[in-house]
Amino acid sequence: KREISNFDYLMYLNTLAGRSYNDYMQYPVFPWVLADYHSETLNFSNPHTFRDLSKPMGAQTVERKRKFIQRYNEVEKNLSAQCHYCTHYSSAIIVASYLVRMEPFTQTFCSLQGGSFDVADRMFHSVKSTWESASRDNMSDVRELIPEFFYLPEFLTNANHFELGCMQDGTVLGDVQLPPWADGDPHKFILLHRQALESDYVSAHLHHWIDLIFGHKQHGSAAVEAVNTYHPYFYGDKMDLNNIKDPLIKSTILGFISNFGQIPKQV
């Protein structure tokens, strides 16, 4: 009914599901909404401009979806449970990696990495390459976004001049590389990205993504059908830790959740 923005609605759902800016392990999760990071201009009237919101990040391409279904059906020997994904779409390290150019997230990221920055090639350095990794190329990367992608241009610039390292191709890491349509301007990126979130296409399809993250496709048979199941340890509210007597198993599960993320409470 356009009584509130899509951004406000998603923040409301995140809050209902127990997500908070105060907890890196349960930070608000937002969707990738665009699939076009190569054009000079964005065309909001073209459906191909947008990410498929009815599918999780692990099923954005036919080939990638096939591989994750194959993994689910085979249950590889090194997996302890049947699932499509052994990594999560939101975790403390994902949040800190996105915001690494700003304090206090810089120190948080370094502490999570053992005291220093990560290898430069693995650092968040390009919106386009991060999308390609999470939607197509990297089978251990199914990350979604955080709210800052829709309102905070400062996290895209290295205003503090941190020495983030040098990539194998010689590129020195500094500001985040933006898509051509942003003209190298973080403010323009945020403006257009927010317009994409509030566009007619996303407004008409956002409920599909909400079903995957917060709703009925979050677990059970609907999640299996949607290629949207994660390691059982990620479902924190489904794990009854009080009934686990072995302290080693209990600490392993808690460590797993704190390091790799947690599914939001079902709304």
67-92: b (≥16 Cβ within 10 Å) or e: ebeebbeeeeeeeeeebbbbbbbbbb
Residue 20 CA to residue 143 CA, distance in Å, equals 17
Domain with 152, as residue range(s), is 6-258
Contact between 224 and 33 (Cβ < 8 Å): no
* Tens-binned pLDDT, residue by residue, of the chain (267 aa): 889 999 999 999 999 999 999 999 999 999 999 999 999 999 999 999 999 999 999 999 999 999 999 999 887 555 567 899 989 999 999 999 999 999 999 999 999 888 888 888 889 999 999 999 999 999 999 999 999 999 999 999 999 999 999 989 888 999 999 999 999 999 999 999 999 999 999 999 999 999 999 999 999 999 999 999 998 888 876 666 667 777 887 777 777 766 777 899 999
* 264 domain-assigned: no
Query: Residue 266 falls within a domain, yes or no?
Result: no
Residue 244 CA, chain-centre distance (Å), reads 30
CA distance 174 to 62: 34
The answer to the question of residue 106 being in a domain is yes
Residue 242 and residue 6 in contact, taking contact as beta carbons nearer than 8 Å: no
CATH number for position 117: 1.10.1540.10
In a domain, 267, yes or no: no
Query: Is 138 domain-assigned?
Result: yes
Based on the structure, what is the number of domains in the chain? Answer: 1
> What pLDDT shows up at residue 116?
85
Does a structural domain hold residue 263?
no
